[in-house]
């Protein structure tokens, strides 16, 4: 059974297990309740006592048999995940993300960017699985020398992006807290008004000879007037966000989402593709579905507001809507 160590926000910051045992000195949690195992850069665990004993005087090789990696005391970190394989992968990906942080706009075409991402994934895979570690480290060092200025520039961009996101989240949090406070104040005012109305009815019944129904109705009417006189914002607006923002990664700014207004273009404008002939014109167009309607002089077939011209125009628009589509080849 493991017991996660959490920070004040409730997030797990360190992993611990009741069966923890230091692989160097063999101390376990049963004998030492304060045992704490830390993880080295080579992802081996050992207790704080062994770390102080071995690495206090300076760098030394890892005491785990078969490793021998030169370690320093300050390089040890606490364990976050139960599986050290996951711990290693997260650490490697975090490191590679800092070294290879180019963006899409740093490349001339999408193919070059995809090749770059594939190369980064190959480097990550090699480090996670200990494949060609020396050659991979040399490649990382070469990339650091050749792209030092761009790497630093993208680090600053990332920091600005994170700062902007944090500011926006803080602003939205303040807005939510303000709306919640206004809503609580409204609820308290309503509760106070109800108690006031109830007390007014009781006092009126106790001191007045007026009919009870009339007194209650009058008191409630006065309370309703006072309620309407108060400025009452819409609760739905208080509970919803005041502004909706979308983050623009290209410009590193926040832009308001403009409302979508459909059918504002002229994509269905077909006036230049046909001419509409009104009833009475000599037209060779034969439409058997409207013969009876055209003969209907008394208007028996027509409902209120029905115009035959609009029906014809709608039919013609639908018929010519796809005139600009290129015909399919004969072999398809």
> What is the per-residue pLDDT for 145?
87
Top pLDDT among 279 and 169 is at 169
Q: What is the mean pLDDT of residues 153-171?
A: 88
> What is the per-residue pLDDT for 118?
92
Residue 249, pLDDT above cutoff 80: no
> What is the per-residue pLDDT for 242?
45
pLDDT in tens, 132-157: 888 998 988 988 888 888 888 888 88
Question: CA–CA separation, 215 vs 80, rounded Å?
Answer: 70
pLDDT in tens, 57-83: 889 999 988 888 899 989 898 888 888
Q: What is the mean pLDDT of residues 319-323?
A: 66
155, containing H or E segment:
helix 148-207
Question: Hey, what CATH class is 5-82 in?
Answer: alpha beta
**Minimum mean pLDDT range among 86-90, 159-163, 202-206, 256-260:** 256-260
Share of the chain above pLDDT 90, in %: 10
Instruction: Check: CB of residue 309 under 8 Å from CB of residue 276.
Output: yes
Question: CA–CA separation, 86 vs 92, rounded Å?
Answer: 10
Instruction: Check: CB of residue 279 under 8 Å from CB of residue 294.
Output: yes
Question: CA–CA separation, 311 vs 315, rounded Å?
Answer: 6
Q: What is the mean pLDDT of residues 247-257?
A: 47
Per-chain mean pLDDT for the chain: 76
Top pLDDT among 253 and 180 is at 180
pLDDT interval class at 220 (50, 70, 90): confident
Q: What is the mean pLDDT of residues 278-299?
A: 61
Phi and psi at 14, nearest 5°, equal -150, 140
Residue 209, pLDDT above cutoff 70: yes
Ordered by start, the domain boundaries in the chain are 5-82, 88-146, 175-256, 271-320
**Residue 156 in tokens:** 């600053």
Residue 234, pLDDT above cutoff 70: no
Burial track 83-102 (b if 16+ CB lie within 10 A, e otherwise): eeeebbbebbeeebeeebbb
> What is the per-residue pLDDT for 172?
92
Length of the chain: 332
> What is the per-residue pLDDT for 241?
46
């Amino acid at each position: 059974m493991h017991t996660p160590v959490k920070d004040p926000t409730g997030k797990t910051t360190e992993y611990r297990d009741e069966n923890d045992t230091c692989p160097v000195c063999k101390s376990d949690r049963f004998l030492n309740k304060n045992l704490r195992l830390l993880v080295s850069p080579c992802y081996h665990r050992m207790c704080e006592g062994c770390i102080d004993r071995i690495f206090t005087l300076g760098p030394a090789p890892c005491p785990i048999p078969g490793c021998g990696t030169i370690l320093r005391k300050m390089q040890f970190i606490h364990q976050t995940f139960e599986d050290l394989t996951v711990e290693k992968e997260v650490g490697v990906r975090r490191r590679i993300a800092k070294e290879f942080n180019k963006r899409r706009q740093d490349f001339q075409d999408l193919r070059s960017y995809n090749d770059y991402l594939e190369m980064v994934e190959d480097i990550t895979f090699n480090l996670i699985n200990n494949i060609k570690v020396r050659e991979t480290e040399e490649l990382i060092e070469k990339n650091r020398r050749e792209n030092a200025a761009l790497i630093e520039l993208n680090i600053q961009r990332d920091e600005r992006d994170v700062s902007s996101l944090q500011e926006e989240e803080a602003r939205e949090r303040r807005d939510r807290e303000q709306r919640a406070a206004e809503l609580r104040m409204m609820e308290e005012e309503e509760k106070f008004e109800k108690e006031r109305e109830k007390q007014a009815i009781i006092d009126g019944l106790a001191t007045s000879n007026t009919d009870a129904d009339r007194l209650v109705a009058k008191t409630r009417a006065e309370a309703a007037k006072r309620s309407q006189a108060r400025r009452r914002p819409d609760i739905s607006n208080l509970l919803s966000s005041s502004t909706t923002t979308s983050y623009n990664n290209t410009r590193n700014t926040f832009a308001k989402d403009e409302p979508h207004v459909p059918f504002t273009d002229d994509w269905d404008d077909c006036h230049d593709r046909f001419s509409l002939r009104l009833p009475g014109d000599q037209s060779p167009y034969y439409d058997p579905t409207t013969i009876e309607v055209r003969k209907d002089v008394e208007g028996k077939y027509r409902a209120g507001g029905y115009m035959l011209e609009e029906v014809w125009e709608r039919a013609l628009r639908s018929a010519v809507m796809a005139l600009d589509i290129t015909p399919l080849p004969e072999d398809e």
